[in-house]
Every structure is written in C-alpha cells, then in structure tokens.
Amino acid sequence: MDRISIIFKRKLLFFLVMFILAFVVLMARVIYIQTAKSEELQGMAYEQQTRDRLITPKRGNIEDRNGEGIAVTQSVNAVSVIHAQVEDEEATAKYLAEKLDLNYDDVLKKVSQRVALVRIKTKVDKETALEIRNADIPGVVVDEDVKRIYPYSSLAAQVIGFVGKDNQGIIGLEAKYDEYLKGEMGKILTLTDSRGVEISDYQERIEPVNGGNLVTTIDLTIQQFAEQTIEKAVTAKQAKRGIIIVLNPQNGEIYAMANYPSFDLNTPFEINDEALAAQWDSFSAEEQNNYLNKMWRNTAINDTYEPGSTFKIVTSSAGLEEGAVTVNDTFNCNGYYIAGDRMIKCWRYPRTHGSQTFAEGVQNSCNPVFMAVAQRLGPEKFYEYMIKFGFDKKTGIDLPGEAVGIMHKLENVGPVELATMSFGQSFQITPLQLLKAASAIVNGGYSIMPHFAKAIKDENGKIVHQFEFEKGEQIISTETSDTMRGILESVVAEGTGNKAYIPGYRIGGKTATSEKLPRRSGKYIASFMAFAPSDNPQVMALVLIDEPQGVYYGGTVAGPVMKELLSNVLPHLGIEPNYNEKELELDEVKTSVVPDIVGMEVAEAKKILSDINLICEIKSEGEIVAQQFPKAGETVNLGSKILIYAE
C-alpha cells in the first residue's frame, strides 16, 4: 500500500509540474500577444471591422525646362458600389448606366457582385459625379480620382509616354520615372458590421501622398519647331517617317526629340493610320497590340540603321587622332577604291573627285578617301574607336527600350568590311548613338550621357532631387576636336552641306544618304547632322527622313530641313548672328521697314511693296487695304511676306 502511495504521489507531482509549465507557457503567450503582437492584431481586427476605399494620389506633372506642363493631372471622381448597402440592384444599375454612359448589363453584373466594394467607373467628370452624389442612392459612393491630361496632345508623344487605367506609366518618361511621379495611395476607412453594413457615419481619412513633378530638359518651343519642321518635310517628300533630335553637345541635355508620324497621348489606344482604323475590328487582339506598339515606338532610340556618310566624322576623328592622316594629306579619287578583291565605288562614280586634300575629301564626302584612312588605321585600331565612341553599347538615355548597335565581330572584319564600315555601311546604330559620338567629336573629345531628367520638385516648387549626368572619359584630344570642327564647318560653308548654310552663323555638319537593305531596292534614308556655333557648339541636331520619294540625297533633302530648324532654334537660344562683309550684301540679310499701306488701293500697295523687295499676299477680296501684317514700322528681311486684308 505504501508503495502504491509513492507511485501515486510521483504521478501527481508530474501532472502538477506539467500543469505549471503549461500555465507558464500560456501566460507567456498571453503576455507576448498583449505586448509584441498587440499592434499587429489590433490592425487586423480594425481591417475586419472597416472597409477601405482607396484615394488615388495626384500624379506629378512632367514639365519642360521652363516649368511648362507637358503632362498634368486633373482632379476627377470615381463611382463605386457597396453591395451590402444596395436596396434595388436593377434600379441602381439602370441609373448608373444612364448617367455614366455604360452598358446596363455590364453595370448590373458589377452591382450584383457580392464583394465589399466594386468600381463602376473611374475618371468621371466633376459635374456628373456631383449629380450622382446628390441622388443619394443607397450603396453608391463617389470618391476622388485623377485623370492624366496631355495639353499638347501629340507633342513628344513617344518621349513623354502615357499612363494606364491604374495611372501607372506605360512607355516613355511616364514609365521611366514612375516611382517619382506616382505618389502613395490614401484611404477612407469606414466602420462596418460582419455583413459589411456601415454602423457609423464616422470615417477615418488617410491622405494620399502626391507624386513629385519631373522637370525635363525639353524646351517646349524647340520641340514644337522640330515637330512642325519634320511633319512638313515628311509630307512634302511623301516619306515613310522622319526624326529630329536636338541636344546640347556639351552636357547631353536633349531639347527636342520629334518622331513623325506621332499619336495623341490623350487617346493612345486609337490607331493613327486611317487605313488600319477602317479595318481595326477585323484584327486579332495580338495584331492590334502589334500595331499599337509600332505606333508608340520611338525610332530615335528603338531602331537601328546604317548611318552612311554622317559616320565619316568618326573615321576622320580616329585617323587624325592616330596620326594616320593630316588635314593636308592628298588623295586621288578615280571614282572607286579597290578593297581586297572588290571594287567599291564612290558616290560620284563614274565621275571622279580627282586630286584633293583630306579636308576637301570630307567636304566632298568622297568614299575612297575614308576607305584609305581606314586601311591606314587597320581593323584593330578602327574597331578600338568604334568601342570608344560607344557603338557596342547603349547610350544610357533615361528612356526604356533603347536598342544597341549591330556590329561585325573583329575577327570577321576583312578588307571589304573595313572599307564599307569607313563610310557608314555594313553595320547599324541608333540615331542617338550617332549624336552621342558626334557630340564627343565637337565638344573637346568628351563622351556625354544623353538625357531628359533635370530634377524632381514637390508641390510647392522646391527641388527635392537633382539628377546628375557628368561628362565621361575623353575619347579624342582637344586638338583633334578643334580640327574636326573646322573641317565640318567647311562642309556647310563650301561642301555637300551648303544647303544648311545660314548667313551670320558658323555651322558645322555632315550629310548622308544611306541605302536601305536589301541593296538596290530603291529605298534610302536622307540625313543631316549639324552643330552651331562651330567654334563653341551649344546645339547639335540630327534630321533623318526615311524613304523620301523622288530626289533622296541627304544634302538636297535634309539640308533645307536643317536650315529651317536652326533658323528658328538658334535665335530662340539667344545665339546672335555675326555677319561678315560678304553676308551683309545678301538680300536675305538686308532689312526693310514695313510701310503704312492701310487705306491705299490694293494695286498701289502691291507696287510700293514690290519696289522695296517685299512680297504682297492678299488674304481677302476687296479694293482698299483694311489691315496689314506685319504692321507699319516693323523691320523685316527683304523678301518677307506682307499680309493684306482688303475690303
């Protein structure tokens, strides 16, 4: 009996110890929950007892360098339905469908969903939203929302990009800098019971954090000049498309990047091709998506092409830097050059350029001169400069989807490949890669980073983040850069680029006529690269016209386009003309004061204007001049048009 009692006591002690341990563990758990986990569990309980209605933050604006809004956010509203509070599903759906111009069946389907809250429509204008709010229909709620607006429609469309229904950037700067622009969501919290019915009118509001404003390097005026100029050029030449890029070669700031055709950023999912639009519904979703992506494509950075003769500035720079050629070296052009076992023609063939210096060879864009320079350099050294100028990698521009150049492998570069590469054939680069290399050639030899972003500002205009893009390594010497600027100035003053000559301005440049693949298809790209002033370049531009009809030579087609562009851009940037004595005698430089012709007979006014080399353009029928533009007393260039409104 004593033995049984001891065993029993031991068991009792064991269970007592286990009970105490369990109690201690339980108390420890309670203490842990009440302290360490209290905030988390309180939050979870609050989430169960409340309904969240998200408040969309105001997306930051995208501005040009002068603070003008290119992409802005407008306050609108969103209409939602809380199913648990709806009293009549059909009546509610009918009312919302009529007010919001939606399909009744689609709205009824949403209203009938047994979820806490469902969006019926976003981006609702304030007037309509106010009507719906005042109707006070059970279960229908109206919240703040935002709508992205692009005041200039198609301006820089492929660069700026657009946002989706969730206000997230899809392409362009909208996508690249989305983290700065988007802001943080806010909330409206309402107490509810287990069925989702509100049990109190009290609402807790957590304010959204609005996005920052992106200040870009874009100059709105220059962008407009570029877009108007390239549209006119593409239309006149019935070309496939066109590109203009304008940047500062000293620091890589891009003033303008224009693609034509473009599209309206406010309706980015509407195709811009009338023929495609007519049969749009017959395309599959995949086909429609492909066409839209093609429309949105920024060909200035997304597509590669053979640069042709504009690339000769790279061959020239490498040759001068390595001492393979000097400015006064002489070459003889027979109309062709023998590379390996192949005869490669000069663009002038069967005519020849004859004997010429290297500088004259650049002015004439003579292919044999550059093939000879490349042969003196050799494949290894030539390829070394291709790498130095960055043709094997992306420029690093702050836009998504940039392409990279397509080059031969060094081991595959024989005499023929080396010869054709010397004048810009048998490899492909993007237009921006060419401009990045050209910038280094004229700015003293330093690589630059092309870019759009300058800073992020808060709602009060205070800069909260500054983007830094410093100059890169020096690729060629300052001496070589100085020499190249002088040679390229002579190309515009005396050579193939003379159609871009503007009196009073020192402009350097290079033309190109690139034959597209397959060869002898009759398709070409006419282009012109130019910079000014040539002694201290502040602006550089590239004009590219794809598949011009009729005459297709770069100097003839793209030269006048470049002249028109720079005639507007240079004065806008405050770069004043400085005429020499010869230029002062040119009619296009001479000026005249507009006479007062208001009140005169039209015939008499026309004669007076003609006598002082001004052109009369009559804008309305009548015998007596009622108005004139420009007004009397204004100074204009000879040959300017004077608009007459007669009555």
Return the CATH architecture of domain 308-456+470-583: 3-Layer(aba) Sandwich (3.40)
Mean pLDDT computed over 86-108 = 92
Both tokens assigned to 199: 């049990």
The mean of the pLDDT values for the chain is: 90
Per-residue pLDDT, averaged over 219-223, amounts to 95
Mean pLDDT of 189-202: 58
- Greater confidence (33 vs 441) lies with 441
Long-range contacts of 195-202 (CB under 8 A, 24+ apart): 195/84, 196/51, 196/82, 196/83, 196/84, 196/85, 196/116, 197/84, 197/85, 198/51, 198/85
Cis bond before residue 138 (omega within 30° of 0): no
Q: Higher pLDDT residue, 574 or 187? A: 574
Higher pLDDT: 637 or 193? It is 637
Q: Are 132 and 142 in contact (CB under 8 A)?
A: yes
Q: What is the mean pLDDT of residues 140-164?
A: 92
pLDDT digits (tens, 9 = 90+) for 266-310: 999 999 999 999 999 999 999 999 999 999 999 999 999 999 999
- Given a contact cutoff of 8 angstroms between Cβ atoms, the answer to whether 223 and 259 are in contact is no
Question: What integer is the mean pLDDT of 471-481?
Answer: 95
Judge whether residue 415 has pLDDT over 80.
yes
Confidence of residue 563 (pLDDT cuts 50, 70, 90): very high
Give bridge partners of residue 593 from the DSSP assignment.
635
Q: Is the pLDDT of residue 51 over 70?
A: no
- Kindly report which listed range (320-324, 427-431, 456-460) carries the lowest average pLDDT score: 456-460
Q: What is the DSSP string of 109-124?
A: HHHT--SS-EEEEEEE
* Tokens standing for residue 612: 């002082």
pLDDT at 203: 65
Q: How far apart are alpha carbons 444 and 478 in whole angstroms?
A: 5
Which stretch of 51-60, 500-509, 541-550 has the lowest confidence by average pLDDT?
A: 51-60
What is the model's pLDDT at position 289? 95
pLDDT at 507: 97
Task: Tell me the range of 102-116, 427-441, 588-602 where mean pLDDT is highest.
Answer: 427-441
Helices within 328-391 (DSSP H only): 358-364, 367-377, 379-388
Q: Tell whether the model's pLDDT for residue 39 goes beyond 80.
A: no
Q: What is the model's pLDDT at position 31?
A: 80
Helical packing angle, 415-422 and 379-388, nearest 10°: 40
Partnered with residue 184 across adjacent β-strands are: 209
**pLDDT value at residue 95:** 93
Q: Please check the confidence at residue 588 and state whether its pLDDT lies above 80.
A: no
Q: What pLDDT band is residue 190 in, cutting at 50, 70 and 90?
A: low
Active site residues: 309
Q: How confident is the model at residue 53 (pLDDT cuts 50, 70, 90)?
A: low
Would you state the pLDDT for residue 453?
Answer: 97
What pLDDT was estimated at residue 56?
Answer: 79
Q: Where does 420-488 show beta strands of DSSP type E?
A: 453-457, 463-466
How high is the pLDDT of residue 52?
63
The answer, yes or no, to whether residue 449 has pLDDT greater than 60, is yes
pTM, two decimal places? 0.82
pLDDT over 80 at 195, yes or no = no
Give the confidence band of 1 by pLDDT, cuts at 50, 70, 90. Answer: very low
Q: What is the DSSP string of 138-175?
A: TTEEEEEEEEEE-TTTTTTHHHH--B-TTS-B-SHHHH
The predicted model gives 608-630 an average pLDDT of 86
* 242-267 confidence digits (pLDDT tens): 999 999 999 999 999 999 999 999 99
Is it true that the peptide bond before 261 is cis, omega within 30 degrees of 0? yes
Per DSSP, the residues of 220-277 read HHHHHHHHHHHHHHHHHTT-SEEEEEEE-TTT-BEEEEEEES---TTSTTS-S-HHHH
Tell me if 334 sits within 8 A of 368, measured CB to CB.
yes
Residue 624 pLDDT more than 80? yes
- Least confident among 36-40, 142-146, 183-187, 404-408: 36-40
Q: Which run of H or of E encompasses 214?
A: strand 213-216
pLDDT tens digits, one per residue of 347-378: 999 999 999 999 999 999 999 999 999 999 99
Question: Is pLDDT above 70 for 595?
Answer: yes
pLDDT at 50: 46
pLDDT for res 192: 58
- What does the pLDDT read at residue 134? 92
3-state helix, strand, coil in the chain (%, to 5): 40, 25, 35
Tell me which of 506 and 4 has the higher pLDDT.
506
Look at residue 594 and tell me whether its pLDDT is greater than 80: yes
Q: Cis (ω within 30 of 0) for the bond into 415?
A: no
The four Cα atoms 397, 489, 512, 363 give a dihedral, to 10 degrees, of -150
* Domain spanning 51-216, CATH architecture: Alpha-Beta Complex (3.90)
pLDDT confidence band for 9 (50 / 70 / 90)? confident
In CATH, the number for domain 590-646 is 3.30.10.20
- Answer yes or no: is pLDDT of 156 > 50: yes
Sequence spans of domains, the chain: 51-216, 308-456+470-583, 590-646
From 22-26, 350-354, 537-541, the region with the lowest mean pLDDT: 22-26
Give the pLDDT confidence score for residue 6 in this predicted structure: 75
What percent of the chain stands above pLDDT 90? Answer: 68
pLDDT bucket at 77, cuts 50 / 70 / 90: confident
